[in-house]
Amino acid sequence: MKLSPGPARQWLAGAALAACALLASAPPASAQGLIRDAEIEDTLRVYTDPLLQAAGLTPSDVHLYIIGDPSINAFVAGGQNIFVHTGLIMEAQTPNEVIGVLAHETGHIAGGHGPRRSQYASNQALGPMLISLALGVLAIAGGEPGAGAALISGSQQFAMSSFVQYTQAQEASADQAGLSYLEATGQSGRGLITLFNRELRPYEFRTRRIPPYMMTHPFASDRVESLRVGVDAGSHRDAAASADTERRFRYMQAKLVGFTRTLPQTLARYPTTDNSGPARYARAVAYYRVSDLALARGELDVLMREEPNNPYYQELMGQILFENGRAEESIAFHRRSLELAPNQPLLQTNLARALVQARGRRGADEAIELLRLVTAAEPDNAFAWRELAQARNERGEEALAELASAEQSFALGDYGLALSFAERARRTLPASTPDYQRAADIVTFAGAEVRERMREQGGGRRPG
Ligand SMILES: [Zn+2]
């Protein structure tokens, strides 16, 4: 489990760091960070892509982001970006409830539902605020928790007050569109009704403690009634989830519970008498988070014997070892996870980081190879840039390390620092190479940003 966002270059920077444990360094009540996890991202994609296709959308154009927030919510922002709260995943009782919400959100995208025009002149208004949502997390992941917390608290207000406020007509249309995608993919719409009745209806007439989903998706009783009619009319209304869908759901929930709840909470939900795979998985994560390595490894050893080809068991074992100062031992597990899930940028990053940490200069060659793949696939992954800078330093490539640091700062939106790193890199890189050109580009872009900000600040500081 990693923290950081994905590849939407224009407004998201990227970084990754160990574990959801990082989430705990943000204020718990307002903890909103983007979580990155290869396994959960894969599950959400498997759930969402068929719905997007049914809607006539191109899955690779739609980005999925997981927000570490215990409240129940999901929303669309900045065009084709779906945000899902961990609370929704953890509180859902069936995969169909999560999939129902994803279908509804897909309905908003397909319907081109944006924020109300009267409030927002254009999508431009969304840009800067989204940046702060993403950068908050990234600043934390990049080692500046103070800055991160400030950015996050600013962006949370944004998320609640102005992110998404659809009209009743748009909500009803997203419901019906969502139902049609579920029908087209042979799935039931019942999850939307059960989620609503269990999690949302009790709050219908309260003004306090309303789940955010109720604020981002205002509803009226007649909307719920037409949703029910639509669900009952579906020819797949009683379709059960496939075994794979069900399994993915149970593991996704177990992992999130293990990573975000306390050990007693995890054990209450997954008692030691429960020997199912998800229960062992949740306990392994929870024990690891309280540094009980023996118990964590005990659970994980059983899982790995049962399923030796599960890449995420290997990843977790690698993470447990790495975080406990056993980087050399973690290498084999990270390598195996990557063999089982090839080309996965987050797994590539894990292996690269372990190689540099454990072997320094000797690990740098392979690490650089891996990190070049990661940064090509996810150019805004600030964490990968940071690791690349370190690997370059190990190899004594100072100018290339500075260029990587410039990329890292650029991805985090720290243009002042990006500018100074890029200027230094440009001084020593051989001219007319692609690296030199990239350094020059960052100098140009970051320099313009810095000048623009200075101008704005100068204007704001006028006396009187
Ligand atoms: Zn909605």
**Per-domain residue ranges of the chain:** 2-233, 244-399
Ligand 1 center–CA 74 separation, angstroms: 9
CA 24–ligand 1 middle distance (angstroms)? 30
Measured between alpha carbons, how far is 326 from 358 in angstroms, rounded to an integer?
8
Which among 113, 96, 110, 102 has a CA at the least distance from the CA of 55?
110
CATH of domain 2-233: 3.30.2010.10
Q: What is the mean pLDDT of the chain?
A: 81
CA dist., res. 204 & res. 406, Å (int): 49
Residues 6+ apart with CB under 8 A from 1: 19, 20, 35, 36, 37, 40, 255, 259, 285, 319
- What's the token pair of residue 151? 């950015």
47 alpha carbon to ligand 1 midpoint, in Å?
A: 18
Return per-residue pLDDT of the chain as tens, 464 residues: 543 333 332 222 222 222 222 222 222 333 356 778 899 999 999 999 999 999 999 999 998 988 888 888 888 876 788 989 899 999 999 999 999 999 999 999 999 886 543 333 333 333 333 433 444 444 444 444 444 444 444 444 444 434 556 778 888 899 999 999 999 999 999 999 999 888 777 665 555 566 677 766 766 677 888 889 999 999 999 999 999 999 999 999 999 999 889 999 999 999 999 999 999 999 999 999 999 999 999 999 999 999 999 999 999 999 999 989 999 999 999 999 999 999 999 999 999 999 999 999 999 999 999 999 999 998 878 889 999 999 999 999 999 999 999 998 888 778 899 999 999 999 999 998 999 999 999 999 999 989 988 888 775 554 44
Return the CATH superfamily for domain 244-399: Tetratricopeptide repeat domain (1.25.40.10)
Looking up tokens 């994905």 gives 6
CA of 174 to the centre of ligand 1 (A): 6
Compute the distance from residue 107 Cα to the ligand 1 centre, in Å. 8
On the question of a common fold for 2-233 and 244-399, the answer reads no
pLDDT for res 175: 93
E-strand ranges in 5-58 read 34-36
Ligand 1: centre distance to CA 105 (Å): 6
pLDDT at res. 211 = 67
- Give the helix/strand (H/E) hosting 65: strand 63-67
Q: Tell me if 277 sits within 8 A of 251, measured CB to CB.
A: yes
How far apart are the C-alpha atoms of 274 and 302, rounded to whole Å?
Answer: 13
SS3 of 344, please? Answer: coil
From ligand 1's centre to the CA of 165, what distance in Å? 8
Distances (CA, A) of 161 to 204, 212, 263: 19, 10, 33
Distance CA 374, CA 368 (A): 10
What spacing in Å lies between the alpha carbon of 167 and ligand 1's midpoint? 9
The amino acid at residue 464 is: G
**153 close to 27: Cβ distance less than 8 angstroms:** yes
Beta strand 74-77 with 63-67 is unpaired
Tell me, in angstroms, the distance from the centre of ligand 1 to residue 76's CA. Answer: 8
Taking the centre of ligand 1 as the mean of its atom positions, its distance from the CA of residue 385, in whole angstroms, is: 36
Question: Tokens 């960070």 map to which residue?
Answer: 33
Q: How many whole angstroms from 135 Cα to the centroid of ligand 1? A: 25
pTM for the model: 0.82
pLDDT of residue 297: 96
112-166: pLDDT as tens digits: 886 543 333 333 333 333 433 444 444 444 444 444 444 444 444 444 434 556 7
Do 249 and 94 contact (CB within 8 A), yes or no? yes
> Ligand 1 mean position to 214 CA, how many Å?
9
pLDDT score, position 209 = 61
Query: Are the C-beta atoms of residues 32 and 133 closer than 8 Å to each other?
Result: yes
Sign of the alpha-carbon dihedral angle for 60, 58, 92, 131: positive
pLDDT digits over 189-244, tens only? 999 999 988 877 766 555 556 667 776 676 667 788 888 999 999 999 999 999 99
